[in-house]
Amino acid sequence: MLKKVKYPDRGSWPNLVKRPVQDYETLEAQIKSVFEQVRLTGDEALLQFTAQFDKVELTKLLVTPEEFNAASSLIAENLKKAIQQAYQNIKTFHEAQQEEFTPVETMPGVTCWRKSVAIEKVGLYIPGGTAPLFSTLLMLGVPAKLAGCQQIVLCTPPAKDGSVHPAILFTASLLGIDTIVKVGGSQAIAALTFGTSTVPAVSKIFGPGNQYVTVAKQMAGKYGVAIDMPAGPSEVLVMADETTDPTFVAADLLSQAEHGTDSQVVLLTTSEQTLQAVEQALEDQAAYLSRQTIVTKTLNNSLGIILSSTAEMLEFSNLYAPEHLILSVKNYEQVAVGVINAGSVFLGPYSPESVGDYASGTNHTLPTNGYARAYSGVSLDSFVKKITFQHLTSQGLQQIGPHVEVLAAAEGLDAHQQAVSIRLKSLAHV
């Protein structure tokens, strides 16, 4: 199961926190070719690539009103209610992130402020693959709508029959998103980057995806399109001690391991007995999972590390900077104070990471691969720009102007100095 490491010396920690290397460079030439074809032939290239990569022959790229209308009747009532509850919780949490900026008078007659302005056009990429990630649509669509983005374009790969999963369509309807394009992979990112006759070009692209999508998003940046964050395979780190219920911990590790064989799970513990109990629980629970093969491969590439104290576990975790951090320890509230690098933190035995993935309200689009050292997860701020404003009265310029003249002269920027001096001279004659 897990690769066991007992009491590693600190010199080995940097190697232990390294993620499996992703060789993206070999994909760049192929994806650049896709980008170029989409740029040159637009929808024609999208239809061609959908047939080539997804094995689906489409005649139209957009989801029709009839498909939207049929979606609600194709999913169970309990799923609709669950989606609606998740929507409400996510909306409540993200509404609280809205800010009113108060003007600040930095000195008499000099007033500065800033305000949030929505990014006008955003693209949301929702993977299809082995699971329809309507939960990710909620995580991206809710803050996009709250921010006031004028145009939201959703790209998702079609199923083999050319349809889009009804749960995604139901969720899109709930959000008020009606532009859904049946296209996936790097070609979808290219379409959002350049625009086609069907797909509007956007200013920022959000959403997870496989290695092709990851590289394509990086390439989009070279064409002036922003992305949500660098992202890679999903991951979780669990801190556990002798008070931990090993069945809970095993369930959390498995829930992350089933994402894919490139995911990584890490267990930190101060108790060898706890590690053994968790490993037994992993074996027992994995036997009943539909993705048992994926889970087994993931666990074989993952770590179970025994450290000497809770303080040492916290130090290791902050170095690792996990996407998801679960504090399954006795004094989790105290430990949480010391967390400085993590995407999202789950406190105590009754806060499974699955809840954050779906419905508690926090966003599950989070930095991976150690990027939590510098990046935040998606929030309302991800969909807005903060624009600063300033206004000076004549008296304000007379007070601050001489200082600016001195500063500009010291940097040798005469035109900067002159822009102030001319105004001050005009005021002197008033």
Average pLDDT of the residues in 237-252:
97
Residue 232 has pLDDT above 90, yes or no: no
Under the banding of pLDDT at 50, 70 and 90, the label for residue 25 is confident
CATH classification of 3-20+232-359 is 3.40.50.1980, yes or no?
yes
The domain 25-227 is classified under which CATH number: 3.10.450.350, 3.65.10.10, 3.40.50.2300, 3.40.50.1980?
3.40.50.1980
Q: Is 25 annotated as a binding residue?
A: no
**CB contact set of 302 (below 8 Å; sequence gap of 6+):** 2, 3, 253, 257, 264, 265, 266, 267
Under the banding of pLDDT at 50, 70 and 90, the label for residue 301 is confident
Q: Is 259 annotated as a binding residue?
A: yes
- What's the burial of 18, exposed, middle or buried (CB within 10 Å: 0-12/13-18/19+)? exposed
Q: Is 334 annotated as a binding residue?
A: no
Q: Catalytic site residues?
A: 323-324
Residue 132, pLDDT score = 81
Q: Is 324 annotated as a binding residue?
A: yes
Of 98 and 230, the one with more pLDDT: 98
Q: What is the pLDDT of residues 385-414, one digit of tens each?
A: 999 999 999 999 999 999 999 999 999 999
Q: Is 417 annotated as a binding residue?
A: no
Q: What's the token pair of residue 6?
A: 């007992």
Q: Is 357 annotated as a binding residue?
A: yes
Q: Are 32 and 136 in contact (CB under 8 A)?
A: no
Question: Tell me, what amino acid is at 417?
Answer: Q
The two domains 3-20+232-359 and 25-227 share their CATH topology (first three levels equal): yes
Q: Are 208 and 233 in contact (CB under 8 A)?
A: no
Residue 12, pLDDT score = 97
Residue 130, pLDDT score = 60
Q: Is 94 annotated as a binding residue?
A: no
Residue 166, pLDDT score = 95
Residue 129, pLDDT score = 61
Strand duo 235-240 + 226-227: pairing? unpaired
**152 three-state secondary structure:** strand
**CB contact set of 67 (below 8 Å; sequence gap of 6+):** 163, 164, 169
Under the banding of pLDDT at 50, 70 and 90, the label for residue 348 is very high
Task: Please tell me the class of the 393-428 domain.
Answer: mainly alpha
Q: Is 187 annotated as a binding residue?
A: yes
The separation between the first and the last C-alpha atoms of the chain, rounded to the nearest angstrom, is: 83
Helices (H), 99-184: 134-147, 166-175
Secondary element (H or E) of residue 384: strand 384-392
Under the banding of pLDDT at 50, 70 and 90, the label for residue 239 is very high
The structure's pTM equals 0.94
Residue 100, pLDDT score = 87
Residue 261 has pLDDT above 90, yes or no: no
Average pLDDT of the residues in 32-50:
97
Q: Is 411 annotated as a binding residue?
A: yes
**CB contact set of 240 (below 8 Å; sequence gap of 6+):** 246, 249, 267, 268, 269, 271, 274, 278, 328, 329
Q: What is the pLDDT of residues 87-146, one digit of tens each?
A: 999 999 999 999 888 999 999 999 999 999 999 999 999 998 666 899 999 999 999 999
Q: What is the pLDDT of residues 177-188, one digit of tens each?
A: 999 999 999 999
Q: Kindly list the domain boundaries of the chain, sorted by start residue.
A: 3-20+232-359, 25-227, 393-428
Average pLDDT of the residues in 350-376:
96
Average pLDDT of the residues in 29-39:
96
Which bin fits 278, alpha (ψ -120 to 50), beta or left (φ > 0)?
Answer: alpha
Residue 20 has pLDDT above 80, yes or no: no
Q: What is the mean pLDDT of the chain?
A: 95
Q: Is 186 annotated as a binding residue?
A: no
- CA 67/CA 162 separation, integer angstroms: 11
Q: What is the pLDDT of residues 262-281, one digit of tens each?
A: 889 999 999 999 999 999 99
* 406 phi/psi in degrees, rounded to 5: -65, -45
